[in-house]
Amino acid sequence: MSEVFIEMQRNGAYLKVTAIDSGTGEEASAMGPVSDPEGVKRLAILKLQNKLSTITKPLSGGRGKLI
């Protein structure tokens, strides 16, 4: 995982944190209480790491091509 951008948006008593991987552009979000911003941030980063680990690279050398 390369550099990660963090975006935080407050909506009343809730906080939405979005973690964005700068290398792939993939993003993951988490919501939680405003009272625990670090916990919500940690959860968003963990969700992003999980998402990036499940992405498979396309097989090369097969018929056809990626568009």
pLDDT in tens, 36-64: 999 999 999 999 999 999 886 665 666 66
Q: Yes or no: say if 48 and 7 are a contact pair by the CB < 8 Å rule.
A: no
pLDDT of residue 55: 80
3-state secondary structure at position 46: helix
8 A C-beta contact, residue 23 and residue 3: yes
| pTM for this entry | 0.78
What are the pLDDT digits (tens) for 6-30? 999 999 999 999 999 999 999 999 9
Model confidence at 65, pLDDT cuts 50, 70, 90, reads low
Does the structure show a pLDDT above 70 at 1? no
